[in-house]
Amino acid sequence: MFVHHFVKGIIKKNSSSAINKTSFDSSEGNTVPNYSELPEEEKIIQSVLQKLADRPEEKLMKYGHQIEDMILSCKFHGRECLDKHADMRKYWTQFWHTRYGNCYSFNKGMDKNGTYTPLMTSAQTGIGLTLEIDIEQDQYISQLSQESGVRVSIGGQGEMPFPYEQGISASPGYSTAIQLRKVMIKRLDPFRNKSCESRNDRFQESIFGRYNVTYTTTVRFLFISQRVVFCFQACKISCLVQAMTSNCGCVIYELKYNNMSVCYMENTKIVKCINKVYKSFDNGNCSKCQERCREDIFKTTVSLAKWPSIQYRDTLIAKIHEEHHRNHSGETSDHFLKLKIYYGELDFEVIEEEEAYTMPSFLSDIGGLMGMWIGISVLTIVELLELIAVLFITVFKMYSKKANRVRDINDNSVEDR
């Protein structure tokens, strides 16, 4: 394959010197280390990945793993979902990932041209998407492929998948079952300015626009509303890439998602510029990216079983030979895997944010406090009036007794005379 020979040429060119295991110094807190401080083996790998990322994606996608060769069987709710003669290919969309190569999305709701495709649904638990996959390990590049298997990323229709950051690994020789449970998250608008709702400017600034994804909006195809989603992760990456492009004139190969120039780490000025961008990014320069007001996530439970079994192994090899016209030699556990993705339950969980202290609660508390203090004031006034009345009565009684005593004395004096 072209990519294989291209990579071998780069590795041969860069592997003349001995491998130096010196580690780079991260005491300065740099996100990207200086190229000269990397071990020689890391230099070779980084050089290969940079040169690959700098080539047109259209050419790389042609020489990557093709879906027709990789997926031996595809069933969704018992229905064939990759039949070349049944127009099922439109349910699969493709994009290039700098780490994993060709990646494929199923049941996205739109094809590669942005045309609406009806969603395939299932109303039963335990039945979903089932794939039998040939990982084509004989085409792996030894220096770059330290792991074998596939990476699975699960999300809602219209979301941009991020297999490296949010994916699940499935290994050859196993049947990997991924059970799903939907969780709906409802968040409050933190600043009451619709910062977590639909924003057309985010769609325009997104580097993922060509993948037909946006932040949160609704588009219409053939009078049918289709919700497509630009997730928080995509917003952050877009912001970071735009900052690198505007400040450094290029992006690191890990973040190349479209036709941008790739930064070569051999240039120390570029490394300093990228680290400066990362530092400003950590300080909150992408604050415009907010968590969505409503987000659907999927909790996963992963289980494994050996596959294929000894009894099924010969049947699988015969099936591959008959349906795909390929002869297989070697251990099936090194080349094949089975993947099952399904809902464990049809209900879903709702997590909803509520204000801890609302305006009605505030007014209620104010009214309660005012009522309490007013009540105390009234009681105090009543007590004061009662005290005055008691004092008045006491003084009046004392004065009355004194007056009567004086009168009695005067009367007695008159009688004595």
pLDDT at 229: 55
pLDDT at 172: 95
For residue 209, give the nearest of 156, 158, 173, 243 by alpha carbon: 158
Pair type for strands 129-134 and 71-76: antiparallel
CATH code for the structural domain at 2-9+28-352 = 2.60.470.10
pLDDT at 226: 40
Amino acid at 139: Q
For residue 208, give the nearest of 105, 129, 358 by alpha carbon: 105
pLDDT at 277: 92
Distance CA 219, CA 226 (A): 5
The gap from C-alpha 362 to its chain's centroid, in whole angstroms, comes to 35
Contact between 36 and 56 (Cβ < 8 Å): no
Measure Cα distances from 411 to 397, 403, 407, 415 in Å.
21, 12, 6, 7
Distance CA 105, CA 227 (A): 16
pLDDT at 212: 60
Distance CA 213, CA 257 (A): 13
- φ, ψ (nearest 5 deg) of residue 54: -80, -5
C-beta atoms surrounding 97 within 10 Å: 19
Return the domain boundaries, the chain: 2-9+28-352
Measure Cα distances from 168 to 36, 163, 181, 416 in Å.
34, 8, 15, 123
Where the chain has pLDDT below 70, the residues are 1-30, 84-86, 195, 197-207, 209-230, 375-376, 402-417
Per residue in 238-275, pLDDT tens?
Answer: 888 889 999 999 999 888 877 788 999 888 899 999 99
Which letter, b or e, does each residue of 251-270 get, where b requires 16 or more Cβ atoms within 10 Å of its Cβ? bbbebbbeebebbbbeeeeb
